[in-house]
Amino acid sequence: MSVDEKTVRRIAHLARIAVTDAEVPHLQGELNAILAFVEQLNEVNVEGVEPMTSVTPMTMKKRQDGVTDGGYPEKIVQNAPATEDNFFLVPKVVE
């Protein structure tokens, strides 16, 4: 399978990465090179094979469902580019 320019733009939008018109043909070439490389996986008979979900067999660890951490909102927001009263600031999203 290969992707056209329109698909490249759609993927970029899904990935939330702005692309310029000049970047699109280049990205298209690179993505198609990778897609051509992974094409060989179609040779493998995977009938009846379970997809891997956990590489090391283990049971999920569980802990008591209780609060063990927190109470420091100023630390949570300390690296944010824009905050007010320990809230993250974003452009208006609801009209």
Partner 1 sequence: MTELTHLTIAEARDGLKAKTFSATELAKAHIAAVEKARALNAYVLETPEKALAMAKASDEKIAKGEGRPMEGIPLGIKDLFCTEGVVSTAGSKIIGNFTPPYESTVTQNLWNDGAVMLGKLNMDEFAMGSSNETSAFGPVVSPWRREGSNVSAGAAGQIEGTHLVPGGSSGGSAAAVAAHLCLGATATDTGGSIRQPAAFTGTVGIKPTYGRVSRWGTVAFASSLDQAGPITRTVRDAAIMLRSMSGPDAKDTTCVDMPVPDYEAAVTRGVKGLKIGIPKEYRVDGMSPEIEKLWQQGIEWLRAAGAEIVDVSLPHTKYALPAYYIVAPAEASSNLARYDGVRYGLRENGKDIVDLYEKTRAAGFGREVKRRIMIGTYVLSAGYYDAYYVRAQKIRTLIKQDFEKVYAEGVHAILTPATPTAAFGIGEKGSGDPVEMYLNDIFTVTVNMAGLPGLAVPAGLDAQGLPLGLQLIGRAFDEETLFAVGQVIEDAAGRIKLPTPWWA
Distance CA 1, CA 10 (A): 16
What value does the CA radius of gyration of the chain take, rounded to a whole number of Å?
23
- Least separation in angstroms between residue 44's CB and partner 1 is 6
67 binds partner 1 (CB under 8 A): no
Give backbone dihedrals phi and psi of 84, rounded to 5 degrees, phi first. Answer: -150, 130
**Alpha helix (H) ranges present in the chain?**
5-14, 23-38, 73-77
Query: What is the DSSP-derived secondary structure letter of residue 69?
Result: S
Question: Which one of 22, 44, 65, 71 is in contact with partner 1 (CB under 8 A)?
Answer: 44
11 binds partner 1 (CB under 8 A): yes
Which stretches of the chain bind partner 1, using CB under 8 A? Answer: 1, 3, 7-8, 11-19, 27, 30-31, 33-35, 37-42, 44, 46, 49-53, 55-56, 58, 60-61, 63, 72, 75, 77-82, 88, 90-93
